[in-house]
Amino acid sequence: MLLKKNAFQWSPQVEIAFLKLKDAMCTTPVLAMPNFSKTFVIESDACEVGIRVVLMQEGHPLAFTSKALSGKNLGKSTYEKEMLSIIHAVQDWRSYLIGLHFIILIDHHSLKFFIEQRISTPK
């Protein structure tokens, strides 16, 4: 539709969208520096094909990591994939987290009760 001659019209809404896009493309997101006197927060998520994790303090990102799942990990349950994302994050950022209390935020609520669960499989 927009490829036809004179199909595109510049409007105030288009101007606003263009300025927002230009601002997003021209400004660099800056990661904060860690403060070891403040609480670290790990926010993790897993999907069918990968895991994504953010290390934050007071809502500001410090580091990002992601990993594609392959092989036997692709066939695991959502529960197991979410746990893999937490393990991946703690291993990657252990130098920040060792000896400190930290918060883990996840969207899979059954992991909240991980410590109380009786798990009979070696995994």
The secondary structure of 31-65 as a DSSP string is: PPPP-TTS-EEEEEEE-SSEEEEEEEETTEEEEEE
Looking at residue 119, what is its pLDDT? Answer: 60
For 15-29, write each residue's pLDDT tens digit.
999 999 888 777 767
State the pTM of this model. Answer: 0.67
Let me know: does 88 contact 108? Beta carbons within 8 Å. Answer: no
Calculate the average pLDDT of the chain.
84
Question: Which domains are seen in the chain, by residue range?
Answer: 40-113 (3.30.420.10)
CA pair distance 84, 65, nearest whole angstrom: 13
User: Has residue 112 got a pLDDT over 70?
Assistant: no
102 versus 29: which is more confidently predicted?
Answer: 102
